Amino acid sequence: MWRRRFGALLLRPRSSAPIPSSSSGHRHLPLPVSHEKPLALNILLSLFTSQAGGDAVKPFIAFVLGGPGSGKGTQCARIASDFGFAHLSAGDLLRNEISSGSEKGELILDIIKEGRIVPSDITVDLIRKAMESTNAKKVLIDGFPRCEENRIAFERIIGTEPDLVIFFDCPEDEMVKRLLGRNQGRVDDNIETIKKRLKVFESLNIPVVDYYSSRGKVHKINAMGTAEEIFGAVRKLFSSIRL
Ligand SMILES: Nc1ncnc2c1ncn2[C@@H]1O[C@H](COP(=O)(O)OP(=O)(O)OP(=O)(O)O)[C@@H](O)[C@H]1O
Ligand SMILES: O=c1ccn([C@@H]2O[C@H](COP(=O)(O)O)[C@@H](O)[C@H]2O)c(=O)[nH]1
Ligand SMILES: [Mg+2]
């Protein structure tokens, strides 16, 4: 996408800082310990590179991560309406593909029912198309990347990294309670699939959070409390970014 114009600048290696190991067994991620640069400085630098290079302006990209039911979708809807972000939910894009009745959709449905991760090329392709069809200068990518392979595929195909990663930190029992009370008819909101999704989250998604923590890109938000209380912390973060 922007790789031809921005790739060299955005994808240059920054350092070989060690990546902290995953916090398996923890339901709450410890605060990021290894920051190359403070988060605010990182955001400022990526804003600068977003604007560089003439006509094609790379949008500001925020990945929104957190366990199943941690409130990603709820908070993204608020960020989109209050701060003018486009909200791209990877899960919704996959569910739309299922609804389209395509062959790919059948494969996706089988994977979602099992709480597993859809192959990266399928998800990144859907995200790429959605990004191309929005003119937004600020984009939230909700619920992606789910694993290191997803992350690497995004960086290769889209040709850039996120400017910011928000991590909603929520205890497991609260996530289970929320998912069982969601009542939106999702095929994966049943206790068997929820248990699998939680395992996948711990083993595959937390390493992605750890990776971006080591690059100083993660802003962790305590996801316990009312949606309004949590949005208070979210609002504070986005108000400080001034995009
Ligand atoms: N702070 C909160 N307190 C209580 N319930 C909440 C809170 N935030 C969201 N919910 C509710 O919990 C459920 C899950 O929220 P949401 O869909 O936003 O989570 P999610 O992280 O996007 O989940 P998933 O990963 O499964 O898509 C929804 O029914 C939502 O209304
Ligand atoms: O990048 C992604 C996002 C989602 N999935 C699959 O979809 C379900 C539901 O996702 P939500 O974000 O909770 O709506 C998830 O459990 C995965 O099976 C995916 O594979 N890759
Ligand atoms: Mg969601």
What does the pLDDT look like over 64-113, one tens digit per residue?
999 999 999 999 999 999 999 999 999 999 999 999 999 999 999 999 99
66 belongs to a structural domain? yes
Q: Among 31, 17, 24, which Cα is nearest to 167's?
A: 31
Task: Report which bound ligand comes closest to the CA of 141.
Answer: 2
How does residue 23 score in pLDDT terms, banded at 50, 70 and 90? very low
Instruction: Kindly tell me if the per-residue pLDDT of 25 is higher than 50.
Output: no
72 Cα–ligand 3 center, Å: 6
Q: Could you say which ligand is closest to the alpha carbon of residue 63?
A: 2
Is residue 85 one of the residues assigned to a domain?
yes
Any atom of ligand 1 within 6 Å of the Cβ of 226: yes
**Which token pair is 38?**
């403070």
**Omega prior to 145 cis, within 30 of 0:** yes
Would you say 115 and 193 are in contact if contact means Cβ atoms under 8 Å apart? Answer: yes
Residue 131 pLDDT exceeds 60 = yes
Flag whether pLDDT at 166 surpasses 80.
yes
- Say if residue 183's pLDDT is above 60: yes
ipTM above threshold 0.95: yes
CA of 37 to the centre of ligand 2 (A): 31
Tell whether the model's pLDDT for residue 39 goes beyond 70.
Answer: no
67 lines ligand 1 (CB under 6 A): no
pLDDT higher than threshold 90 for residue 14: no
What is the number of domains present in the chain?
1
Ligand 2 atom closest to the Cα of residue 90 is 3
What is the DSSP secondary-structure string of the chain? --HHHHHHHHSS----PPPPPP-TT-SSPPPP---SS-HHHHHHHHHHHHH-STT-PPPEEEEEEESTTSSHHHHHHHHHHHH--EEEEHHHHHHHHHHTT-HHHHHHHHHHHTT-PPPHHHHHHHHHHHHHH---SEEEEET---SHHHHHHHHHHT----SEEEEEE--HHHHHHHHHT--S--TT-SHHHHHHHHHHIIIIIHHHHHHHHHTT-EEEEE--S-HHHHHHHHHHHHHHH--
Q: Is residue 191 over pLDDT 60?
A: yes
Position in ligand 2 atom list of the atom nearest CA 197: 16
**Spacing, Cα 161 to ligand 3 middle (Å):** 21
Q: Residue 40: inside a domain, yes or no?
A: yes
Name the residue of 107, 186, 188 whose CB sits within 8 Å of the most ligand 2 atoms, as the mutation to test its pocket: 188
> What is the band of 46 on the pLDDT scale with cuts at 50, 70, 90?
low
Any idea what the CATH number is for the domain that residue 64 is in?
3.40.50.300
Residue 19 inside a domain? The answer is no
In a domain, 22, yes or no: no
Q: Is 67 in the pocket of ligand 2 (CB under 6 A)?
A: no
Domain annotation covers residue 8:
no
- Phi-psi bin for 109: left (phi > 0), alpha (psi -120 to 50), beta? alpha
Q: What is the pLDDT of residue 43?
A: 56
At residue 242, the pLDDT reads: 73
Distance CA 103, CA 105 (A): 5
The CA 120 to ligand 2 mean position distance, Å, reads 11
Q: Give me the domain span that covers residue 161.
A: 35-239
16 located within any domain: no
Distance 134 CA to ligand 2 centre (A): 21
What is the pTM (predicted TM-score) of this model? Answer: 0.86
Q: How far is CA 173 from the centre of its chain?
A: 22
* 26 inside domain: no
Quick one: pLDDT at residue 27? 38
